[in-house]
Amino acid sequence: MPETILIADDDTELCALLGEYLEQEGFAVRFAHNGAKALETAVEPGLDALVLDIMMPRMNGLDVLKALRQQSGLPVVMLTARGDDLDRILGLELGADDYLPKPCNPRELVARLRAVLRRSQGAKGPELIRVDDLQLDPGTREVICANRKLDLTSTEFSVLQALLAHPGMPVNKRDLYLAALGREPVRYDRSIDMHVSNLRRKLGVSCRGENRIETVRGIGYQYRVAAVGRD
């Protein structure tokens, strides 16, 4: 069955254009033209991803995302006004997986969606990773930290998985972009920094009272470790 994408935008002409292109690429498409309808539809079963505009009537996209993240880890690509850094940062802080400035290129949107969907679906038969009191299961895409199951977005999970692939070692930012977002970094893009910030907040400090993810200046990030194990 085709993967189903919900496009939430009050611009009906843009929705029709993007919807037609996505259908040509093999997706099934649904539409919502206000924020309240977008949230109502997004929590229904059968959706694979959401393309969410920020400026919508009845409920803006940021409020939709905030409410959605309390109920669902559905992958979300935000559409933001070109050059509006604040909306982009807020969207990432609230749990968006990626973003595109409007007007967006339909081909690039498809590429972003496919990258997000690959991450959310995970891999087949991978190893369970244990680092200190943290356990990551790539198959189920579940993370347990200090006996707590963490609620991570698909992108946050992929960032953490990329860091844990090299525990205790610096991971270059470019490698994190490729592994977690499926694309090269661009100038002034702080998406990975925002996802790492979200991860730090959700992971909390280690039993040693340290941030679990350390900034390696001029390189990227590394996950601090005391012990590593794999099944």
Residues 9 and 109 in one domain: yes
On the question of pLDDT at 41 being above 80, the answer is yes
Give the whole-angstrom CA distance, residue 214 versus residue 222.
5
Same domain membership, residue 220 and residue 177: yes
Torsion sign over Cα 190, 122, 204, 71: positive
Domain final residue, candidates 75, 93, 121: 121
Higher-pLDDT residue of 13 and 85 is 13
Domain boundary among the residues 104, 121, 138 is at: 121
Higher pLDDT, 226 or 109: 109
**Where is average pLDDT lowest: 73-82, 197-206, 222-231?**
222-231
Mean pLDDT of 3-31: 95
What pLDDT shows up at residue 77?
A: 95
Last residue of a domain, one of 97, 121, 145: 121
Residue 84 has pLDDT above 80, yes or no: no
| Order of strands, sheet of 98-102, starting from the edge strand that comes earlier in the sequence | 28-32, 4-8, 49-53, 76-81, 98-102
Which CATH number belongs to the domain containing residue 207 in this structure? 1.10.10.10
114 and 154 share a domain?
no
Indicate if 116 and 56 belong to the same structural domain: yes
Same domain for 92 and 153: no
- Within the chain, residue ranges assigned H as helices are 12-24, 35-42, 61-69, 85-93, 106-121, 154-164, 173-176, 191-203
Tell me, what CATH number does 11's domain have?
A: 3.40.50.2300
Same domain? 203 vs 116:
no
Q: Are residues 109 and 172 in the same domain?
A: no
Examine the pLDDT at 82 and tell me if it is beyond 80.
no
Domain hosting 175: range is: 129-230
Domain count, the chain: 2
Q: Give the pLDDT confidence of 122-176 residue by residue, as tens digits.
A: 644 467 889 889 999 887 888 999 999 999 988 999 999 999 989 999 999 999 9
Residue pLDDT, tens place only, 90-127: 888 888 999 998 888 899 999 999 988 887 776 444 67
